Amino acid sequence: MSDQPFYKRTVFILFISVSFILGIWYFYPNYLEWTDSKNISYLEKPWYLTNMDNLELPNEVIENSNKEKIGGKYGTYGDSYGSLNTLFTGLAFAGLIISIILQGRELKATRKEMNDQKEVMREQKIESEKQNKILENQHQLIQKQFDESKKQAFLNQYYALLDQRQKILGSLVITKLDGSKLEGNEVIAEYVKGFRSLREQFDTDIHDDEYMNLAWDRLSKKLHKSYDYQLVSYFKFYRMFFSLIQKNDALSDSEKTLYINILKNFISVEEQLLLMWLGCFKKAYNILCCKYSLLSDIYNANLEPIGLKFYKVEAFGNSKTWKQAFEKNKKTEA
């Protein structure tokens, strides 16, 4: 019994108690009658018949006297049942108290179960957050590995393009009238000579972008005996190279700046002069020079009119000489 829950023990005790009381209620009168019949062996005779020991009383008298005697006793017994009513009332009240206690215990058990469920849910939430954190870390790791692979692919392409640039430069060829050939940087130097002659004759009032374009075409036809676009294709390679760096999302801004500066260091002064010439009549090269300050290493008094007419100051980077020239020109125009 001690192993049973509290409410089961209580119900069992109540059942035994009620059964016991009902048993008393049912058998109590019979018990009293049986006890009374044992104790009453004779009826007390009236005083006037005390000397009449041998007198036989009528059965009716004996029966009436016996009932009167027993009735008096049973009246007292009947009054004793009032205590049983009080007992039952007390038991009912006790049952109510026990019911309240049981309900309180059940509520307490329910609250404990709910608290346990909350604790389990809290632990599950913590575990879920840990799992999410692990998944997030895995995602970041995978993303980092992916970015690193993209960056490595970019570096491979970057250095491959640098090698390709050198090959394209080496493929530049001009055959002179005497049969000799100019190759690579010699071709660029020959165009620079033409640009030097051009800028010495340049007049900002009468010359424009069309004039610069015709001058380029005349020089190309003179050197190659026809219109040749080898050099234009070579500088187009730079446009593609800068675009590759700028649009690569695997690089941070600082990394992009680093690789752009590395590439700018490969551009010689002679190449900067030709980029300046091309930018006078080709908008794409003009934008390229201004965006990446590709003309920062060149300055000459003969270059000022061309630079001021066709370019913005951004094309010359941090050159103090060019900044002063633009400021002076601005004051003159004002």
pTM score:
0.60
CA atoms within 13 A on the CB side of 115: 6
The predicted structure's pLDDT at residue 137: 87
- Walking along the chain (334 residues) 10 residues at a time, the average pLDDT comes out as 58 75 69 61 49 52 50 59 70 82 87 89 89 87 82 86 86 78 88 89 88 89 71 86 88 90 91 93 93 91 90 92 91 76
Looking at the DSSP bridge assignments, the partners of residue 183 are 173
What pLDDT, on a 0 to 100 scale, did the predictor assign at position 267?
92
Q: How many C-beta atoms lie closer than 10 Å to residue 261's C-beta? A: 10
pLDDT of residue 306: 92
Dihedral, 28, 33, 35, 41 alpha carbons, nearest 10: 170
DSSP letter string over 208-270? -HHHHHHHHHHHHHHHHSS---HHHHHHHHHHHHHHHHHT-TTS-HHHHHHHHHHHHHTS-HH
pLDDT of the residue at 3: 46
pLDDT at residue 73, rounded to an integer: 56
pLDDT at residue 324 in the model: 92
Domain ranges of the chain: 6-134, 171-333
